[in-house]
Amino acid sequence: MNTEWHASDQMLIEYSNVHCDVSTAYSIEAHLERCQGCRGTLARLSGSRPEHAEEIWNRIADVIDRPNPPVLAGCLMRLGMPEPWALLTAATRAMSAAWVGLQILLIGGAVALARLGAGPNAFTPFLFFAPILPAVGVVVAYHPRFDPAAEITACSPMAGAKLGLTRIVAVLSVTLSLLFAGSLIVGHGWITLTWILPTLAVAGATLVVVTLIGAEQASLVVVVLWVTTWFTLYVLRSPQGRFVNLVNDGFLGERQWLWAGACLVMGAVVYVRRDRFELALELQRQGMS
């Protein structure tokens, strides 16, 4: 090829304005692939606005700089969750492998007891302990100790009910799914699902306690209340039967209506007190309103 040939300025201007005949265009195109000089001339003459090139560059930079979302956030986004919420959920410590693993261990233990033990009573430990998990989970979701950037989080506009409840929903859905999977493995039919309403009610109660005294002691208070209530009832009613019978009585039959009522009440209280959700620990405790 004749390397002495170069496109004239006039040709390049016409070419960049898409205003030249086909054969000239072909010549220029074949030439431009090989000639840095003419490419530079074209860039100078083309009359395109630098801001335009800059804008496209920004778009390129945005795509190549964009970090890959964490695996969990990516899954949530594929399920249709908007990107910001998916990222927030994925950054929640309560979604961490440690907390999920601990729950799998505990639920697995209760499932093993139920499978190995004989009779429907073998399922009682599962029923009794299931509501404790979300009570602890709520605090894992809410307590600043489980948020490495707690102080920065606390002063953000999301730090009220928005972020708190996002995290709590995330934590509860994991816990409830695990419990549900556990009860399917146990497989005693409907009886094994009687934990659902009590568990939701206890989760709601924990949230209410959080709005009253802050996240710091909320789960401790709820768990202690849960255990002592049952043992008090047992002591009051003894020696009529075994503890497992009491628990079974408390969960089964028309008692489920009581639990459903408790869920509604707790839900309503949480809704009324939604303004009191606050991630800044001190403000939780001080009960600012």
Partner 1 sequence: MSVDSDAVGPERSDVQLLNAVGAGDQVALRELYERHQAWLIARLRHRCADPDVVDECLQDTFVAVWKSASSYEGNGEVAAWIWGIAIRRLIGVLRKQPRQIVFARDDTVMVSAEEHVLSGVQYGDLAGALSGLSPELRAVVQATVLDGLTTREASRLLGIPAGTVKTRMMRARQELRGALT
Partner 2 sequence: MTSVKVHNATRRFGSFVALDDVTFSLSAGITGLLGPNGAGKTTLLRVLATVAATDAGSIELLGRDPRNAQSRVDIRRRLGYLPQEPGFHREFTAFEFVDYVAILKEMVDRKARHDEVRRVLAAVGLANEMKKRIRNMSGGMRRRVGIAQALLGSPELLILDEPTAGLDPEQRLRFRELLTARRGHTVVLSTHQTDDIAALCQRVIVLLEGRVRFDGTPPELAALAHGRVWNALERDPTAQLAWVTGDGMVRHLGTPPAGADAVPPAIEDGYLTLVGSLHALSSAPEN
Can you tell me which residue has the tokens 């408390």?
250
Going from the C-alpha of 78 to that of each of 85, 86, 124, 167, 171, the distances in angstroms are: 12, 10, 38, 19, 19
- 171 touches partner 1 (CB under 8 A): no
- 212 touches partner 1 (CB under 8 A): no
Q: How far apart are CA 171 and CA 137, in angstroms?
A: 6
- Minimum CB–partner distance for residue 137 and partner 2 (Å): 20
Residue 78 contact, options partner 1, partner 2, none, Cβ 5-8 Å cut-off depending on partner type: none
Residue 160 contact, options partner 1, partner 2, none, Cβ 5-8 Å cut-off depending on partner type: partner 2
- 152 touches partner 2 (CB under 8 A): yes
Residue closer to partner 1 by CB (options 19, 78) is 19
- 30 touches partner 1 (CB under 8 A): yes
Stretch that binds partner 2, among 12-20, 58-66, 193-201, 204-212 (CB under 8 A): 58-66
- 71 touches partner 1 (CB under 8 A): no
CA 124, 196, 210, 280: dihedral to nearest 10 degrees?
Answer: 120
Tabulate helix, strand, coil % of the chain (nearest 5): 80, 0, 20
Q: How many CA atoms lie within 13 A of 163 on its CB side?
A: 26
- H helix runs in 97-160, sequence order: 97-116, 124-129, 132-142, 150-154
- 25 touches partner 1 (CB under 8 A): yes
- 162 touches partner 1 (CB under 8 A): no
Q: What residue ranges bind partner 2 (CB under 8 A)? A: 58-59, 61-62, 65-67, 82-84, 87-88, 91, 147-160, 163, 275-276, 278, 280, 282-283, 286, 288-289
